[in-house]
Structure 1
Amino acid sequence: MGDRTAIEWTDATWNPVTGCTKVSLGCDNCYAERFAERFRGVAGHPFETGFDLSLRPARLEQPKKWRQPRMIFVNSMSDLFHKKIPCSYVDLVFDTMEQAAWHTYQVLTKRSSRMRRYVNLRYAGGAAPAHIWLGVSVENGRFLSRVAHLQGTPAAIRFLSLEPLIGPVGRLDLGGIHWVIVGGESGPRARPMNIEWVRAIRDQCRSEGVPFFFKQWGGLTPKAGGRTLDSREWNQVPYAASRSSALRQMSGLAAE
């Protein structure tokens, strides 16, 4: 975690919370849990308590110290809308995002109803600032209710992370959705992803004019299967991300 990351669709990660609990099938082989549990019991290590839910108030100010604009994935090692994270603490995370507004933040959750409720209360009568993107994770067609919750959340950019994709999602309602990311599972117990599931999503995105980003096939490691679909890479991003990328290049950061 820090101001660099290997995740293809972002620049940096920021983890003011770590640890989580399983909420649906996509959590079964959680990469973050697998990583954190390796260090359980190691005295002084950030993950000495493994993947137990832990608030990290010392990290709340971290983005303010990164002066160059970045695309920041918030809580890659947790879920900001976990029911045991107090609203007062979520407030502090949003305070930092609002204050360090030269960055773009990507907030991704499986607890979509809590996110909808929180954002509608915080920005009553308005919408989240344009540099705070809000997304939901969906692993198959059983959890499309999360998409509906996202559509009811006021945000300039709403995105779907269909990863790990472990089954077909069927017909997607892409109304009000600005970006779709698809990826396969990785790790020693990775479940395979069918190419037809991916093609069906890509084709719906193309039909609706929604940017489509194919992250990986997955396998034993994230890079094991590559990231080409039908002989090409799919790296589409929302227009706002293209503008952010240009800003970063002008600021001297490495080009994507």
Structure 2
Amino acid sequence: MGRTLISWVSEAWNPIVGCSRISPGCKNCYAADLPLDPKFKKLWQYQAVKKWDGTIAFVKKELYRPFRWRNPRTAFLSVTDIAHENVKRHELSQVLAVMALTPTHIYKLLTKRPVEMRHYFQTLTTTELFKAALEFWDEDLISKRAWRSVKELERYFAELALPLPNVWLGVSVENQDYTWRIDELRHIDAVGKFISCEPLLSPVNLSSYLGICPGCQSCDFRGGHRIGKSVANWIIAGGESTRKKSDSRPCNIDWLRSIVSQCRQADIPPFVKQLGSNPVQFQYVQGNLLQSEGDNLILPYKTKHRKGTDENEFPIDLQGCQILPDYHRVLATVSS
């Protein structure tokens, strides 16, 4: 796999393939259906994990691809959870070693298993990364401009500092019940952190994690101002999309508006990826929400695009809300 339809990265990079469902957001996982796609039927790794039962395939040849990227890219491991219990540590460390050796690229790692991710990164060492690199280091397979002798490689990792400056860590939060994942993210040392509220299945209040006041005497209990540091540097939100539109669970556009509002209060860039295949909206009349008994309160919000990804079809107040983080600014803030 190469270029991706995921709008917040430029590259899908999948040296690890496979996962299993763990929470409501996983119900209609797009990756679980990929083995049925004709494009993927000829790829052994997708057929090996097609039951989506936790089987993990490690695709070693994929490790060499980032060394061939000439221009800086943002990459995402899109068909696995890197913290899945069946991902072998020495294989994951090989993936991280590649990231360490290609510092011009940004890598984004997302999990629904933050406890395991926290353990991995809290125990990771540069020595482990060096040993992992030796498992794939092959002069015939590494691009010439990236090649180093083993002694040079050892020196490189000895001088390397953790956390890796080009690796962003994120957690998925599909509803309020899973905001606890952000608590685990809080305790992981990373240059950049993000939260993905996709598929957004209900309203989510992130204020306590974004450093937003819920209401105090100094603001007459109105809330909404910043009182602390945010756990995350960036928030993604979006409705669910599925192959069959009828399978998609509804996403209320006001839920997306709420997340955008929270991001603005916390001075964090929001990225509204899509409205989803089944966006809905409350019905207003002359600015007032209909609430009387018998009113059809929630209406479909129609889009031409099947997944609701065309920003031109967003409500006007959500247009311009596909903002990528300023990676250099975040790095500079952490380094200062």
Task: Give the TM-score taking structure 2 as reference length.
Answer: 0.66
Could you tell me how far apart the structure 2 residues matched to 1:203 and 1:41 are?
A: 39
Question: Mapping of 1:12-23 within 5 angstroms?
Answer: 12-23=11-22
Distance 1:35 1:120, change over 3 A: same
1:132 pairs with 2:135: no
Answer whether contact 2:122 2:188 (CA < 8 A) is retained. yes
| Partners of 1:81 and 1:209 in 2: CA distance | 29
5+ residue gaps, structure 1: 245-256
Tell me which residue corresponds to 1:247: none
2:12 is paired with a residue of what secondary structure?
strand
- Structure 2 CA distance for partners of 1:56 and 1:236, relative to 1, 3 Å: same
1:176 and 2:176 correspond = no
Aligned with residue 79 of structure 2, among 74, 77, 80: 77
Instruction: Judge conservation of contact 2:239–2:274 (CA < 8 Å) in 1.
Output: yes
Structure 2: distance between partners of 1:151 and 1:91? 22
Q: CA deviation at 1:167?
A: 1.1
Q: Tell me: CA distance 1:231–1:109, structure 2 relative to 1, closer, same or farther (3 Å).
A: closer
Rounded Cα–Cα distance in structure 1 between residues aligned with 2:190 and 2:41: 40
Residue 102 of structure 1: how far off its partner (Å)? 1.2
More helix per residue: 2
Q: CA deviation at 1:237?
A: 2.2
Higher relative contact order (CA 8 A, sep 6+): 1
What's 1:34 paired with?
33
Q: Over alpha carbons, which structure has the higher Rg?
A: 2
How much is the aligned-residue C-alpha RMSD, in angstroms? Answer: 2.5
- Helix, strand or coil at the partner of 1:76: coil
Structure 2 stretches of 5 or more lacking a match?
Answer: 127-160, 211-229, 279-304, 332-336
Count of aligned pairs between the two proteins: 241
Separation in 2 of the partners of 1:145 and 1:39? Answer: 38
Shift of 1:117: 1.2
Tell me the amino acid that sits aligned with residue 226 of structure 1. Answer: D
Deviation digits for residues 56-104 of structure 1, max 9, x if unmatched? 122122211112110111x201111110011111111110000011111
Matches within 5 A, 1:1-256: 1-2=1-2, 4-38=3-37, 42=41, 46-49=45-48, 50=50, 51=52, 52-73=55-76, 75-122=77-124, 127-172=162-207, 173-174=209-210, 175-187=230-242, 188=244, 189-219=247-277, 223-224=307-308, 226-227=310-311, 228-229=314-315, 230=317, 232-240=319-327
Change (3 A) 1:42 1:69: closer
What are the superposed Cα offsets for residues 103-145 of structure 1, whole Å, 9 maximum, x if unpaired? 1101111111111111111159x74222111111110101011
